[in-house]
Structure 1
């Protein structure tokens, strides 16, 4: 489930895929993504990561070593990401500046409106108003 959820034009979706492919390629070539990261990497999934962790625990048990684990819940992490820091990190990674600018434009000064039965949302429009109109 990727956020933000919105209806983007087909051109925007295509542009996002091209940019994502370029960013992923750059991060891979520069070895900026740790080998241990499994989320959002092709061919890696939480199932693979769980199998890896199980193997590490088993190995520790068989060799008589203590094994511990710390889990971090990052639910809704996207909602609290410091977007300026994301842009800064992309810039510092030596990603092509025009790609950083495109990402920055996608992240900043965004607005979202909804029209239901001819009523357009605004900053002051409550979601409950749409239930009454719909």
Structure 2
């Protein structure tokens, strides 16, 4: 699987950061991410999540309750983001159209030229995955 690496100019990085802030605000306003999810969220460090877990365990122990923990880490999650599904979900959750269009453009079908030592293997369509870097 090939996931594109995004190399942007300084103005491009600034623009992407502005889009990110607006998209983050839209997602936060609609409470699309559960409060229990701490990954990739500002102000939600793993240290705070561990403290939250510790407090829950202690609180439950005081009242003789058991505590079960389920930790989920999806391997290569960003490599497997289905573009059409992402756009559909953003629309369904009411994210502003101008932001959905911007996300759509940044995840549009990417054609990669894959070159081997002396062999040009041509272009490949990448229907899933989001660019890494910025």
Q: Could you say which TM-score interval applies, normalised by the shorter chain? A: 0.7 to 0.9
Deviation at 1:71, TM superposition (A): 1.8
Q: Which residue of 2 aligns with 1:102?
A: 102
Give the corresponding residue for 1:32: 32
- The CA distance in 1 between the partners of 2:62 and 2:26, in whole Å, is 40
Structure 1 residues 111 and 13: CA distance shift in structure 2, 3 A? farther
TM superposition score normalised by structure 2: 0.75
Deviation at 1:33, TM superposition (A): 2.1
Q: SS of the residue aligned with 1:8?
A: coil
Matching of residues 1-134 of structure 1 within 5 Å: 5-112=5-112, 122-123=113-114, 125-126=115-116, 129=117
Kindly provide the CA deviation profile for residues 66-103 of structure 1, in whole angstroms up to 9, marking residues without a partner as x.
11112222232111122211111111122221221111
- Structure 1 length-normalised TM: 0.75
> Of the two, which has the highest radius of gyration?
1
Higher relative contact order (CA 8 A, sep 6+): 2
Work out the number of aligned pairs and report it.
Answer: 116
CA contact (8 A) 2:38 2:44 kept: yes
CA root-mean-square deviation: 2.0
> Runs of 5+ in structure 2 lacking a partner?
119-134
